[in-house]
Amino acid sequence: MKIGVISRSNLDDRLYWSGAINSVYTHLKKNKKIKIIKIDKLNNTIRKIAALKRDFIKYVSNIKYDESYDNLVSRNFGYQIEKKLINKKFDFLLAFDSSLIANLSTRIPIILWTDLLYSDYYDHYFNKEKISKKTKKSIKNIEKLALIKSNKVFLSSKWALNKAKKKYPNISQKFKLLEFGPSLISNYNRKFIKKKIKERSNSRLNLITLSVNWKRKGIDRILSINNIINKKGIKTKLTILGLKEKKIKNKNIRIINFINKNNKNGEKKISNYLLKNHFHLLFSNAEAYGISLIEANSRGVPNIALKVGGMNQIIKNNVNGKLFHHNSDLNKISDYIIETFLDKKKYKNFSLSSYDEYNKNFSYKKIILKFIKLINN
């Protein structure tokens, strides 16, 4: 089977799209039944010109304009991809962005794989912002074209899947559930994870959150939880990993600046930070999926998170984490963390269960097999 993988950016870039596209591409390459051809590194000149328009509109009227879903930009991407397809034969094309395929003219079957349809993405992440009418119209038109041209559309959560089916009932048969796995390399065996769980501190509760966005990732609430736990007599160390140039004067809190996982040393650092912590916290105001939840589980770290977007696709309560309502009392959340931490047997079983859940449902070895089955049906 020969598949052309489409990406606006370099497919080897592990930062683009939170590393999800690179992870899919990398694991597809490992499968001996599939031959992968890159269709990437598209010229962004037209998009950059449209970005100037975006900045001008934002400056003049404080209205959001999305240059990625500008009709001219989408047509230009389609034209570039068509040129790359000349004299090449594929069984399928795989894309992750509807703007790249909406204006693509080809007879090759197309698969679109994403965490959320782009129109739903805007409703979920930017519902309080002013969006330009032209952007709304462009998104709607481009998305429709892309869905019509796609033979199958994979969505990573039942939440996103149900939204898509409700919005496009006439083509609901195209939509299928297919999760994303971790962006970090996650090939630890159970024996290694068991050893790392045992090495975690018994006297100090170590918490970690992976974030590059203070406000959207709910860091203020995480800081409050850390403070409440301290006041209840439990010593903590909260690690906030990924924020740039942010400082907090608190000996119980450390901020680790952005670490580039495009190099092995950077990835190893992130992995080591995760392995030493008891819980991973994700308190996002909006989240379509939550790849960091899977990365924590793959290292035997349970998740404490808010029930938003597609996160309940990943977290099963008291199996690999705990989901709380976004209006939950922070004292209640803190008590759950403390109780679980202090019960050493319960915590050990919780951590191993978190790893087992990853291994069962979210390892790319399993996901790629599911991918092959879906495209062959």
Q: In this structure, how many other beta carbons lie within 10 angstroms of the beta carbon of residue 344?
A: 10
Residue 134 has pLDDT above 80, yes or no: yes
Residue 36 has pLDDT above 80, yes or no: yes
What local confidence, expressed as pLDDT, does residue 122 receive? 82
What local confidence, expressed as pLDDT, does residue 245 receive? 61
Average pLDDT over residues 361-370: 97
What local confidence, expressed as pLDDT, does residue 199 receive? 97
Residue 129 has pLDDT above 80, yes or no: no
**In CATH, what class is 2-181+364-376?**
alpha beta
End-to-end CA distance of the chain: 14
Alpha-carbon dihedral angle through residues 181, 185, 189, 192, given to the nearest 10 degrees:
-130
Q: Report which of 64, 65, 67, 66 is spatially closest to residue 47, judged by C-alpha positions.
A: 67
* Higher per-residue confidence, 245 vs 103: 103
Structure confidence by residue, pLDDT tens digits, 324-342: 999 999 999 999 999 999 9
What local confidence, expressed as pLDDT, does residue 128 receive? 62
* Higher per-residue confidence, 203 vs 243: 203
Average pLDDT over residues 214-233: 94
What local confidence, expressed as pLDDT, does residue 264 receive? 82
* Higher per-residue confidence, 109 vs 130: 109
* From 198-207, 235-244, 266-275, the region with the lowest mean pLDDT: 235-244
The CATH 3.40.50.2000 portion of the chain extends over 2-181+364-376, 190-361
Residue 247 has pLDDT above 90, yes or no: no
Average pLDDT over all residues of the chain: 95
Average pLDDT over residues 117-134: 82
Contact yes or no for 209/282 (Cβ under 8 A): yes
Which H/E stretch holds residue 119?
Answer: helix 118-125
Structure confidence by residue, pLDDT tens digits, 70-125: 999 999 999 999 999 999 999 999 999 999 999 999 999 999 999 999 999 888 88
CB under 8 Å to 8, separation ≥6 — which residues?
A: 40, 42, 44, 77, 97, 100
* From 69-83, 161-175, 260-274, the region with the lowest mean pLDDT: 260-274
What local confidence, expressed as pLDDT, does residue 131 receive? 83
Strand residues in 200-344 grouped as ranges (E)? 205-210, 236-241, 253-256, 279-282, 303-306, 321-324
Contact yes or no for 327/344 (Cβ under 8 A): no
Percent of the chain with pLDDT over 90: 86
> What is the CATH number assigned to the segment(s) 190-361?
3.40.50.2000
What local confidence, expressed as pLDDT, does residue 123 receive? 80
Residue 246 has pLDDT above 80, yes or no: no
What local confidence, expressed as pLDDT, does residue 216 receive? 83
Give the C-alpha separation, 46 to 77, whole Å.
Answer: 9
DSSP per-residue letters across 186-217: ----HHHHHHHHHHS-SSSEEEEEE-S-TTTT
pTM of the model: 0.94
Structure confidence by residue, pLDDT tens digits, 282-329: 999 999 999 999 999 999 999 999 999 999 999 999 999 999 999 999
Give the C-alpha separation, 130 to 312, whole Å.
Answer: 29
Average pLDDT over residues 273-281: 98
Give the C-alpha separation, 11 to 19, whole Å.
Answer: 9
Average pLDDT over residues 44-51: 95
